[in-house]
Structure 1
Amino acid sequence: MAPPGSRRWAYVRIMADTILGGGLGFYVMHRIETSYKVRREERLRRYEAHLLTKEKEAQQLQDEGCREDQAQLLSDS
């Protein structure tokens, strides 16, 4: 059987390792979450910019179509 001081030291090491491991695990997960949120927000910004570009292109095509229709009506008159 191990001496009492050795057993006490083993318990201290186990508790310290558990606390430090928990702290390290929390830090790592926090870093992963924040980096994920930053990447997600960046993807959302790019997607919104893409949608705005598509909307502007659609509006320009619609405006050109209206102008061509007006030009056609004026030339027929």
Structure 2
Amino acid sequence: MAPPGSRRWACVRVMTGTILGGALGFYVMHRLETSHKAKMEERLRKYEAHMSMVAKGKEEAQQRLQDEAALQHKDQARLLPDS
């Protein structure tokens, strides 16, 4: 059987290792979460910028189609005789 002093030292080492290991684990997870959050925010900004450009392009295309339809309607009105 081990002497009582060595048993006490073993308990101190286990408790110290547990506390330091927990602190290190917490720090590492905190760093991972903050870096992941930053990456996701950047990705969201890029996605929102892309989607606004897509929406703007759709609006411009829709406006072009309306302008062409109005021009065609105007041309047809000129070709038809007044009754």
TM-score, normalized by length of structure 1? 0.93
Equivalent residue letter for 1:31: R
Structure 2 CA distance for aligned equivalents of residues 34 and 6 of structure 1: 42
Identical-pair percentage:
56
Structure 1: tracts of 5 or more residues without a match: none
Moved over 4 A (4+): none
TM-score, normalized by length of structure 2? 0.87
Deviations 1:28-52 (A, max 9, x none): 1111111111111111111111110
Structure 2: tracts of 5 or more residues without a match: 78-83
Aligned residue number for residue 81 of structure 2: none
